Amino acid sequence: MPQTGRKREHLDRTVRERPEYREVLSLFQGLFAYIDGREGDTGISFALPEQHGAERVNGGLPLVAPENLSVDREKAGAFLSGIVGVIRGANRDPLGGVELDRIGRALEENALELPLLLSACLQRERKSLEEAAAAISVRPPLLTFILETSLKTALSLAAESVDPKTVEGWKEGYCPVCGSRAGMDELAGEEGKRFLCCSACSFRWPFPRLRCPYCGNQDPETLSYFLAGDEPVRVGVCRKCSRYIKTRDSRKGNGDVPLEAEDLATLHLDLLAGKEGFERGR
């Protein structure tokens, strides 16, 4: 079942407990409130391979490929327009308001080639997104964020249908379902087995405890972590590639919280990692 409701609940609880998070989390609270119950209305779907899935996994290829993507333009446009509306309600930037109006008009007039742009998001191909943004005079990150919010919703729904046994033996640090980077990881069970969690579709897969998911480094002398208080989330760092990943030790709590919401609710750890000279893994 979609986890949007639980994401929303955790952010609401975070804002109550940490009022200083109210401004930064208000947008995501609004987005989750809009998406909750509408996960199947994005107009985006994926035909996961019924055959040759094992061959793709063994070859280091994710299950979802661009040719698996289908887009219902009318439904996708309506869903994206709703996202634009949520962002407009949370926006405090006059320029951002003008750009959101332009994106809204482009969606109403079918001026955006949605299948092409969503495929570009899936492949992390920025040129098409930059050209589309320039054509309607908006900043590429804003248009990309709107498209990716919808795409991630559809990917998460598709990932829920994937049997973990389908990707047994996957050894990569990127997602076996959609190919996106790991957003967080988790230590679970009595032995603290490590699982990476996809930043796009939220699929979880096992990964060695002592390995950087971004550069593959396994040298214990250059892999470490730091804590901030007694919360269940810590920051794992790789001094070889200077990247970090946040890790939740579910044995300490919050095991029922979706990791996307946990990620948003621990932005103070991102700030600390940045001050220490580490970049988010990608």
Note the pLDDT tens digit of each residue in 35-89: 999 999 999 999 887 765 778 888 889 999 888 999 999 999 999 999 999 999 8
Q: Packing angle between helix 126-135 and helix 114-123, nearest 10 degrees?
A: 140
pTM of the model: 0.93
Beta bridge partner(s), residue 204: 197
Residue 256's pLDDT band, with cuts at 50, 70 and 90, is: very high
Average pLDDT over residues 97-113: 95
Instruction: Report pLDDT for 239.
Output: 96
Residues 156, 2: contact at Cβ < 8 Å? yes
Residue 265 one-letter amino acid: A
Residues 173, 214: contact at Cβ < 8 Å? yes
Q: Give the tokens for residue 225.
A: 């972590």
Domain boundaries in the chain? 38-159, 181-280
Residues 232, 254: contact at Cβ < 8 Å? yes
Q: Give the tokens for residue 149.
A: 């919010």
Instruction: Report pLDDT for 191.
Output: 87
3-state secondary structure of 128: helix
160, 66, 198, 221: CA torsion to nearest 10 = 150
How confident is the model over 220-237, as pLDDT tens digits? 999 999 988 788 999 999
How confident is the model over 132-189, as pLDDT tens digits? 999 999 999 999 999 999 999 999 999 999 989 889 889 999 999 999 999 999 999 8
Instruction: Report pLDDT for 48.
Output: 84
Exposure string of 162-184, with b = 16+ CB inside 10 Å and e = fewer, is beeebbeebebbbbbbbbbbbbb
Instruction: Report pLDDT for 83.
Output: 97
Distance CA 177, CA 172 (A): 11
Instruction: Report pLDDT for 274.
Output: 94
Instruction: Report pLDDT for 51.
Output: 64
Distance CA 57, CA 169 (A): 8
